[in-house]
Structure 1
Amino acid sequence: MTADFKTPISLDDLAKIDIRVGTIVSITEIERSRDLVHAVVDLGSERRNVVIGMKRERADVKEVVGRQALFVVNLPPRKLAGIVSEAMVFDIGYEDGITPVLAIPEKPVPNGTRAG
């Protein structure tokens, strides 16, 4: 059973969200955290630190290194587990209580390419 759809938003609201393709360059486990890892993501014009809660979702968190995924890049930076996270991975399934998977492009595209 799927969840109810959220309240409709305007196209102007949707246009405010900046989702970009990035390649996960590295993953480092955050020792004192049960859930969080530190990723470095190549977004084309720059690399950013992203803290991702995937430690308990995967047997090997490093399996995503080298993969492209979608990232929300215009959220304010947020300090998590002592690391400033500069984007948020756009994943599928978490809100529905299933093991999340990365939202990925169907074929490689240049890092920094906008979604939408």
Structure 2
Amino acid sequence: MCVCVCVCVCVCVSVLQASVRDQKKLLVENGKLKKDIEQLRVQLQDKQRRRTAKALFSTPPPNISPAPTTPVNQPPAGATAAIPTNPPPTASSSHDQRERHSRRRRGERKARPTPDSLSLGVEPRVDVSRLDLRVGRIISVRRHPLAETLSVQEVDVGENANRVVVSKMGAETDLEELQGALAVLLCNVKACKVRGVVSMARLLCCSTSDDVSEMLVPPTGSAPGDRVTFNNFPGDPDRELQSKQRIWELLQPDLQVDCRGVANYKGCRFEVKGKGLCRAPSLTNCIIR
């Protein structure tokens, strides 16, 4: 009986010792694996850093133009052909390379060309579609305090606030009749002071060589803010006409009233879509100013 107990105890002790040895062996192997993984991670990071540095600081190879397949001038027999050599890099090309390298180091990118820069040399269109012509209703009108030939109108052009317009009217014009009337206005001119009063639009009038003038009238049923368009000249108007480009001055000679009293630009009529044409009340064959 005692012998059996001793045998069992010995077996248990040997099993425990074996399990302890196995645990120690596993711990040692785990430590080695962790160490190997850490070394591999460090090596991978070093390779990535070297690859990035090489891409950043490597200079691009010089462009070598291919030799022509068919020689233009065949050298005489016995003469040695001159070997073309690449010209030395100019200061501007080396300067460009340095700028590219510095941008790469800073993580910057070269600005992409805009559509405006791509269209260099192409002149912008100069036609009546660049004018923002709208129907407006004259809310109030009065003589300019500093000029008898000028009048000041407050006009509703379909915006949140009315616009103040300074225009030149004949001395015989009855200003009271203009109040509440519809007119055609050029709304994308730059605001400017006229004898101390800021004018924010241009009232279109037709006039003869005898200085007889009257306002251009939109079709019946028009409302403040309606656009005046031209079938042959589609397009969106400028946000604001630049004074340096002198668009209005270039277009004005072609703005006329024909023999039927209809306003037109190069034969294309002033039209409010779905409502009709713009006309002069009584004048014909005259200019629009």
* Residue deviations 1:36-95 (CA, integer Å, cap 9, x gap): 11100000123100001115141x21210000000000010110021100000011115x
Is the partner of 1:62 in helix, strand or coil?
A: helix
Q: Which 4+ residue blocks in structure 1 deviate beyond 2 angstroms? A: 10-13
Match 2:164 to one of 40, 49, 56: 49
User: C-alpha distance in 2, partners of 1:20/1:57?
Assistant: 26
Cα offset for 1:11? 6.6
What residue is the counterpart of 1:69 in the other structure?
183
TM-score by length of 2: 0.34
2:149 to 5, 26, 35: 35
Higher helix share: 2
Contact 1:57 1:100 in 2 (8 A): no
User: Which of 26, 32, 41 is the matching residue for 2:140?
Assistant: 26
Structure with greater strand share of residues: 1
Tell me how far apart the structure 2 counterparts of residues 88 and 81 of structure 1 sit (CA, whole Å).
15
Identical residues among aligned pairs (%): 28
Structure-1 residue corresponding to 2:193: 79
Q: Could you tell me whether the CA contact under 8 Å between 2:170 and 2:212 is conserved in 1?
A: no
Which structure exhibits the higher relative contact order, with contacts defined as CA atoms closer than 8 Å and separated by 6 or more residues? 1
Aligned counterparts of 1:108 and 1:100: Cα–Cα separation in 2: 24
Q: Is the CA contact (8 Å cut-off) linking 2:184 and 2:217 kept in structure 1?
A: yes
Q: Which runs of 5+ in 1 are unaligned?
A: 1-9
| SS of residue in 1 equivalent to 2:148 | coil
Residue 131 (structure 2) aligned to one of 5, 17, 28: 17
Q: Is the 8 A contact 1:68 1:108 kept in 2?
A: no
Whole-angstrom distance in 1 between the partners of 2:133 and 2:169: 20
Aligned residues: 105
Post-superposition offset of 1:24: 0.4
Match of 1:56, as an amino acid? Answer: A
**Higher-Rg member (1/2):** 2
Contact 1:37–1:55 (CA under 8 A) maintained in structure 2: no
Residue identity matched to 1:47? N
SS of structure 1 residue aligned to 2:227: coil
TM-score, structure 1 normalization: 0.81
Pairwise CA distance, 1:30? 1.6
**Secondary structure in 2 aligned to 1:28?**
strand
Matched residue of 1:34: which SS? strand
Q: Does 1:109 align with 2:222?
A: yes
Do the aligned partners of 2:170 and 2:213 also contact (CA within 8 Å) in 1?
no
**What does residue range 83-98 of structure 1 map to in structure 2 within 5 Å?**
83-93=197-207, 96-98=209-211
**How large is the Cα RMSD of the aligned pairs?**
1.8
